[in-house]
Amino acid sequence: MNTLHQVDILSPQFKANPFPFFARLRAEQPVYRTVLPDNTTVWLLARNEDVSALLKDERFANSRYNAMTPEQLGKYPEVHPAFRPQKWNMLHLDPPEHTRLRHLVHKAFTPRLIEQMRERTQTLADELLERVASGGEMDIIRDYALPLPMTLITEILGVPVHDRDEFHEWSKVIVSVYQFNNNWRVLTVIERFNRYLRGFFKIRRADPQDDLVSALIGAEEAGDKLTEDELLAMIFLLLIAGHETTVNLIGNGMLALFEHPDEMEKLRRDPSLIKSAVEELLRYTSPVFIAGERYAREDVTLHGQTIPRGGIALPVLGSANRDETVFENADTLDITREPNKHLSFGQGIHFCVGAPLARMEAQIAINTLLRRAPGLRLKRSPESLRWRSSLMLRGLEALPIEFQD
């Protein structure tokens, strides 16, 4: 295992095929200590059983403020004011704060809203494909997988659609770094993002509309409301999580189908398989490869490795989803796999609130592409495709294809 510390788990080269590395971890060192490029020490959890347990383990906190000693917290640089609202990001909160915010967003982000978006999603998927049909080629990421969820989440929130390109540029910077709360690279982006959203909130407070931002501004739970910073952190999370992960699901999913033409043809012949197919693509490609960091509230020993109080444990969903002890033929893509208890949306109280939206978008996007463009072909070899640099996410920079008669 001496060579494993040399692997940069954030690099595009590693993201292209991280699965052999984590297979070795599951077999030999399921709790693995490593150092990230910013010199942060973390412990990677690779086995399904351990990842599942960590996501619900009360010995670990999502907020470092609930785990670290005052001395440990004092070693962190002072947070710039632009980053402070992100303290209220639900991904970084524990009960009771998390419980309260989760209840508030659920009152606005309802299954009924998702169902109402189904027809709009289908219309948008058709429109996006019509735009590129005459050209005979497209980049699935740029022309389809990105504009589809970005347009939908901005419409759900009520943000003008013409701002979506700028939002994507902002989010690309944010998700490309680790622990951006202390990373000056993203300061300008965060300040612009905050300034835009605060101005937008003023508009919606004065003139509420039938959108999610207006609903969140007006949402109440036991007489409680979101503060300005909580609202900002919530919209920040929904905008980024509401499109970045779905872009990866659609892009990674299509690449996996290109690499498994028999499975692609099976789905093309029987579109009713799309629900199980998307669940399998979630498992097989793991668009969110690593879940948010968990901080040890006390010294915790797992498989002979001690994660000290304040230490950062990272649940590797992409490894858990390929665990041979849980999934038969785990490295094989099987769009009819049942059961399929993958962990791609997490578990426990932090289970992804946007899971129904992501599933619906991917089901419609993939089936529509296969139906409308039966002669799809990759323009480049899978080995030549470039993957984005990110700790948490796994997704392609581009996926160029061409249409054949």
HSE value, Cβ hemisphere, 13 Å, CA-based, for 322:
23
Q: Backbone dihedral region of 44: left (phi > 0), alpha (psi from -120 to 50 degrees) or beta? A: beta
Query: Which residue in the block uniquely carries the two structure tokens 């490593």?
Result: 34
Quick: pLDDT tens for 331-354. 999 999 999 999 999 999 999 888
Q: Domain containing 9 — which CATH number?
A: 1.10.630.10
- Rounded CA-CA distance 323/340 in Å is 12
Q: Which of 41-45, 242-246, 268-272, 304-308 shows the lowest per-residue confidence on average (mean pLDDT)?
A: 242-246
pLDDT of residue 182 exceeding 50, the answer is: no
pLDDT of residue 323 exceeding 90, the answer is: yes
pLDDT of residue 324 exceeding 80, the answer is: yes
pLDDT at position 305, please? 95
Q: Which residues contact 321 (CB under 8 A, 6 or more apart)?
A: 48, 282, 283, 284, 286, 327, 330, 342, 343, 344
pLDDT of residue 179 exceeding 50, the answer is: no
- With 0.85 as the threshold, say if the pTM is over it: yes
- Rounded CA-CA distance 404/369 in Å is 13
HSE value, Cβ hemisphere, 13 Å, CA-based, for 274:
19
Q: Which tokens go with 76?
A: 């962190």
Tell me what the mean pLDDT of segment 44-55 comes to.
98
Between 45 and 196, the more confident residue is 45
Label residue 315 by pLDDT band (50, 70, 90): very high
- Rounded CA-CA distance 376/70 in Å is 57
- Rounded CA-CA distance 221/101 in Å is 9
Instruction: Supply the DSSP string of 120-164, one letter for each residue.
Output: HHHHHHHHHHHHHHTTTEEEHIIIIITHHHHHHHHHHHT--GGGH
Between 217 and 309, the more confident residue is 309
Tell me what the mean pLDDT of segment 247-255 comes to.
97
Please state whether beta strands 312-315 and 137-139 pair in parallel, antiparallel, or not at all (unpaired). unpaired
The b-or-e profile of 253-279 (16+ CB within 10 A means b, else e) is: bbbbbbebeebbebbbeeeebbebbbb
Distances (CA, A) of 74 to 36, 77, 81, 298: 20, 8, 17, 18
| Average pLDDT over the chain, rounded to an integer | 89
Q: Count the helix, strand and coil residues of the chain and give each as a percent rounded to the nearest 5.
A: 55, 10, 35
Between 278 and 183, the more confident residue is 278
Label residue 221 by pLDDT band (50, 70, 90): low
pLDDT of residue 297 exceeding 60, the answer is: yes
Label residue 220 by pLDDT band (50, 70, 90): low
pLDDT at position 183, please? 59
The 3-class SS string of 206-225 reads HCCCCCHHHHHHHCCECCEC
Residue 210: count other Cβ atoms within 10 Å of its Cβ.
7
Owning domain of residue 30: 4-403
Nearest to 274 by CA among 118, 388, 117: 118
Helices (DSSP H) in 17-146: which residue ranges? 19-28, 48-54, 70-74, 97-108, 111-133, 140
Q: Which segment, 72-81, 272-281, 343-352, is predicted with the most confidence on average?
A: 272-281
pLDDT at position 177, please? 55
Q: Which tokens go with 300?
A: 């915790």
Label residue 1 by pLDDT band (50, 70, 90): very low
Q: Are 300 and 59 in contact (CB under 8 A)?
A: yes
- Rounded CA-CA distance 330/18 in Å is 14
The b-or-e profile of 191-200 (16+ CB within 10 A means b, else e) is: eebbeebeeb
pLDDT at position 219, please? 79
Between 302 and 210, the more confident residue is 302
- Rounded CA-CA distance 363/79 in Å is 40
Quick: pLDDT tens for 100-158. 888 888 766 677 777 889 999 999 999 999 999 888 899 999 999 999 998 888 888 88
Helix (H, G, I), strand (E, B) or coil at 41: strand
Q: Which of 64-68, 76-80, 356-360, 389-393 shows the lowest per-residue confidence on average (mean pLDDT)?
A: 76-80
Number of domains in the chain: 1
